[in-house]
Amino acid sequence: MATRIGIGLLGLGTVGAGVASILSSPEGRHPLIADLQIAKVAVRDLNRPRPIELDPSLLTTDPQAVVDDPNVQVVVEVMGGIEPARTLIMRAIGAGKSVVTANKAVIARHGEEIAAAAAAAGVYVLIEAAVGGGIPIIEPLKQSLGGNRIQRVTGIINGTTNYILTRMAQEGANYNAVLKDAQDLGYAEADPAADVDGLDAADKIAILSGLAFGGPIDRSAIPTAGISALQSRDVDYATQLDYGVKLLATAERVDSPNTSTADSSTSQPLAVSVQPTLVPTDHPLAGVNGVNNAILVEGDPIGRVMFYGPGAGAGPTASAVVADILNIAGIRQLNDNDGNLDPLLAASSWRACHLVESNAIRQRNYVRFNTDDAPGVIGRIGSCFGDQGVSIQSIVQFDASDAGAEIVVITHEVSNGAMQAALSAITALPEVRGVAAHLGCL
């Protein structure tokens, strides 16, 4: 008979309850699930009503007791936050226990330290649920796409903001009301500013970037803009110009004369960013709506491959957590957990990576100017762009009234440095009142 594997849950909230629900109903699922047993569960409030009933003697308010419990062989960290989550993960590793976590905030900041400790201890720290909710993207990047030279990873990787943007665009729904719905549905982070300010997406693209390009990057240096300042008129104008607006996270290899793709000893420059971006309506990412996420990976020789599915919520996220538990359980049952880690499952990095200066990142841009409705203003704006070598794809005056005009410009691809120089010159024009919006554009 197979040995039972004790699971210690750190957290029984949205994701933890989803995991407990799968583990408590093994019928019709992978046979190994029947060998997994919830041994101990940490919560903050023992009296809080839960969507799943567990034996009350399993619950504790002491998360360290879960990690230290001799009946716990795999620790599942689904409590969130940086501390005490990081310390508990390190403690579990120190005790020789593998860890499954959905916590992208911890992994994006402390992933290197955690991976090094896990490798030294001969245990796994698996993170499939940390990016893309239920979408398998971590293991594909580690394993299935390993033969590719990845050029670019572009993703809608925050379910809350995609849900908000979709309902605002499709129903004209109110921002705060939809955010409240996203919280009630269990999509949002404990502090939803992490979602709407783009920080959660920045954590996730830092993790994807590390896997795709083979080395950790400085999470704190990622240029990040969320949707909290996005105005509905820009979504309307984008629609009229045949675009949708999505919060996109992008990580792209920047090849410079000093960087050889064959030489892993040189540091790989990467352009990484998170920002609201206009997406042409016929682009594969444009049809990704609601809480769904999608990650488009471009590599050589595969070309483009897109991973799509529910990006947040109890069931989808628990699906990813349980997949990781099963990987670890399968290896344990084969008695191969003696310090010889499966190189495809274990974390690895094979080169140094660094972010390029934000001014060197190249992209297309959407800009909305508030101006006087004066003759010649479009021409003068065009000249300022031309002086900096910024080529314009379209320039449209949308709304002329006594109060002024709104001029919307979409540029061709240009460096952020040239764009900023042009915007400085334009805002110095006497007819220009200011830049009302500046978004990316695919």
**What string marks each residue from 273 to 312 as x (binds ligand NAP by CB under 6 A) or -?**
---------------------------------------x
How far is Cα 21 from Cα 27, in angstroms, rounded to an integer? 12
User: 285 touches which of ligand HSE, ligand NAP, none (CB within 5 to 8 A by kind)?
Assistant: none
Cβ-based nearer residue to ligand HSE, 157 or 328: 157
Among 15, 93, 271, 361, binds ligand NAP (CB under 6 A): 15
Q: Is 50 helix (H, G, I), strand (E, B) or coil?
A: coil
C-beta separation of 237 from 320 below 8 A: no
Task: Report which residue type is found at 316.
Answer: P
Active-site amino acid positions: 204
Q: What tokens does 369 get? A: 């100017």
**Residue 242 neighbours by CB distance under 10 Å:** 11
Among 5, 7, 12, 22, binds ligand NAP (CB under 6 A): 12
Torsion of CA 229, 235, 241, 242, to 10 degrees: 120
First to last CA, the chain: 55
Residue 433: phi and psi, rounded to 5, are: -85, -25
Cβ-based nearer residue to ligand NAP, 13 or 155: 13
Q: How many CA atoms lie within 13 A of 157 on its CB side?
A: 35
Cβ-based nearer residue to ligand NAP, 196 or 421: 196
Residues that bind ligand HSE (CB under 6 A): 133, 158-160, 187-189, 195, 200, 311-312
User: 276 touches which of ligand HSE, ligand NAP, none (CB within 5 to 8 A by kind)?
Assistant: none
Among 5, 6, 8, 13, binds ligand NAP (CB under 6 A): 13
Cβ-based nearer residue to ligand HSE, 5 or 249: 249
DSSP per residue, 402-418: TTBEEEEEEE-SEEHHH
Position with the least CB separation from ligand HSE: 160
C-beta separation of 404 from 371 below 8 A: yes
Among 6, 11, 155, 226, binds ligand NAP (CB under 6 A): 11
How far is Cα 107 from Cα 204, in angstroms, rounded to an integer? 9
**What string marks each residue from 101 to 120 as x (binds ligand NAP by CB under 6 A) or -?**
-xx-----------------
Cβ-based nearer residue to ligand NAP, 61 or 259: 61
C-beta separation of 434 from 427 below 8 A: yes
How far is Cα 153 from Cα 354, in angstroms, rounded to an integer? 16
Beta strands in 78-115 (DSSP E): 98-101
Shortest CB 311 distance to ligand HSE, Å: 5
Based on the shown chain and the rule CB under 6 A, indicate whether residue 412 belongs to the binding site for ligand NAP: no
Sites for ligand NAP among residues 149-188 (CB under 6 A) = 186-187
Name residue, tokens 């021409």.
Answer: 379
C-beta separation of 153 from 224 below 8 A: no
Cis amide leading into 310 (omega within 30): no
User: 103 touches which of ligand NAP, ligand HSE, none (CB within 5 to 8 A by kind)?
Assistant: ligand NAP
User: 12 touches which of ligand HSE, ligand NAP, none (CB within 5 to 8 A by kind)?
Assistant: ligand NAP
Cβ-based nearer residue to ligand HSE, 100 or 423: 100
How far is Cα 429 from Cα 44, in angstroms, rounded to an integer? 57
Stretch that binds ligand NAP, among 77-85, 115-123, 212-220, 264-272 (CB under 6 A): 77-85
Residue 53: partners with Cβ closer than 8 Å, 6 or more residues away: none
User: 80 touches which of ligand NAP, ligand HSE, none (CB within 5 to 8 A by kind)?
Assistant: ligand NAP
Cβ-based nearer residue to ligand HSE, 36 or 156: 156
Based on the shown chain and the rule CB under 6 A, indicate whether residue 43 belongs to the binding site for ligand NAP: yes
Size of the site for ligand NAP (CB under 6 A): 28
> How far, CA to CA in Å, does 439 sit from each of 251, 275, 288, 419, 442?
17, 7, 19, 12, 10
- Strands 405-411 vs 5-10: parallel, antiparallel or unpaired: unpaired
Name residue, tokens 């499952």.
Answer: 345
Among 26, 84, 136, 280, binds ligand NAP (CB under 6 A): 84
Among 14, 166, 293, 365, binds ligand NAP (CB under 6 A): 14
**Which residues in this chain contact ligand NAP in the complex, by CB under 6 A?**
11-16, 42-45, 48, 61, 63, 78-80, 84, 102-103, 129, 133, 186-187, 189-190, 312-313, 317
